[in-house]
Amino acid sequence: MSIELKILNNSGLKKILVVGVFHGDEPQGEYFINEYLNLQKENLKNSLYFIPRLNQNNARTNKNGVDLNRNFPTKNWVKSNKDDYFGGNYPASEEETKFLVNLIEENKFDAIITIHAPYKIINYDGPAQGLADEISNILGYPVESDIGYLTPGSFGTYCGIERNIPTITIEIDENKAPQELLGRFIMLFNFLANKY
């Protein structure tokens, strides 16, 4: 398995990580990221680190049946039932999880963004309320600080709550064609590259 990491402007002021397709049945992020990477860009202020597609499987879980967003080595990780939310046999059991854990240990990210579907909200963990408000203005989804259910072993808990990195979980509208949402995502990536 190879996870692609694409870095724009390695010497930028801030380092921002954007992760697409945590869940394989929410594929839109890969499209937004690849379309943005194809555009001409000049004088970026910040460094953007893109993972277009974390989960190569075409289902919510990875090829081992693990929900990657429940597999992070957090204090609240629990061994759960083998359903669509299975957190793995132990924390960070999965290659995808280890890849992100290593990346976050090796880089001091100023913000981390992940792209999910379908709740039409901007959720955040850690000191990210201001950034969540900015992203809400760009994408037109309301900010929700609490997604309404427990997410043990989540990426947001790992990065935002336990490491104090501003972490945003974008939940897009899956009923809209990705082409309809692309313009907003290009605005978002331009904001992250130049204004944040």
As measured in angstroms, the least distance from the Cβ of 25 to Zn ion is 8
Contact residue for Zn ion among 23, 94, 122, 153 (CB under 5 A): 23
Applying CB under 5 A, the site for Zn ion has a residue count of: 3
Q: What is the DSSP letter of 36?
A: H
Checking DSSP bridges between strand 47-51 and strand 167-171, what pairing results, if any?
unpaired
Q: Is 51 helix (H, G, I), strand (E, B) or coil?
A: strand
Q: Is 116 in the site for Zn ion (CB under 5 A)?
A: yes
- Kindly indicate which of the ranges 47-55, 114-122, 134-142, 175-183 contains the residues binding Zn ion, using the contact rule CB under 5 A: 114-122
Choose between 23 and 53: whose C-beta lies nearer to Zn ion: 23
DSSP annotation string for 88-135: -SSTT-SHHHHHHHHHHHHS--SEEEEEE-SS-EEEEESS-HHHHHHH
Whole-angstrom distance, CA of residue 33 vs CA of residue 96: 18
**Which of 85-93, 104-112, 116-124, 140-148 is the region at the interface with Zn ion (rule: CB under 5 A)?**
116-124
Cβ distance to Zn ion smaller for residue 70 or 116: 116
Q: Which residues bind Zn ion (CB under 5 A)?
A: 23, 26, 116
